Amino acid sequence: MAKSAIKPAPTNLTSILSQPAEDAERPPVTPRGYYTCVVQGHRFDKSSVQQTDYVDFVLKVIEPYKNVDEDELEEFGEVRGTIINHRLYITEKAKYRIKEFLEHCGVDLSDGKSFEQAIPEATNCEVIVQVIHEPLQSGDGVMARVRSSAPVE
């Protein structure tokens, strides 16, 4: 399995390093709620602590779908175009979650198609995701995480 199926956008290291460090602020967290997204691609990797394989689906927000917290949305600003990573672990117990996500993306899983064959087919598919907030392990903030997905109807 390839380590990475998409390449992250290049960071302008020189530009960032030349900025005053004291001006750096934590960016706002994607507001809680449902979003219609398009799958931009995916990448495979391992978790840093337990070395568990996972696939990160890179989702680009097309528009808020429903139930997005209005106060959070106002604080965040324009949400269209925001990138959300949807991490799904590749284990026997969790593989059903990958299957469900692929089905929600409209990927045809018939004819004995493997995960390795099906995952790339999610690229450019639309899907609805629910974003929730979870506390950071450090205890000093929250992070946005995809809780669930659904097909676009």
CB atoms within 10 A of CB 150: 15
pLDDT of residue 65: 80
- What percent of the chain clears pLDDT 90, i.e. is strictly above it? 68
Q: So what's the architecture of 28-150 in CATH? A: Beta Barrel (2.40)
CA torsion sign for 61, 81, 143, 101 is positive
Confidence of residue 16 (pLDDT cuts 50, 70, 90): confident
Whether the pLDDT of residue 142 is over 50: the answer is: yes
What's this model's pTM, rounded to 2 decimal places? Answer: 0.84
What is the pLDDT confidence band of residue 10, given thresholds at 50, 70 and 90? Answer: low
Average pLDDT over residues 45-49: 91
The domain segmentation of the chain, as residue ranges, is: 28-150
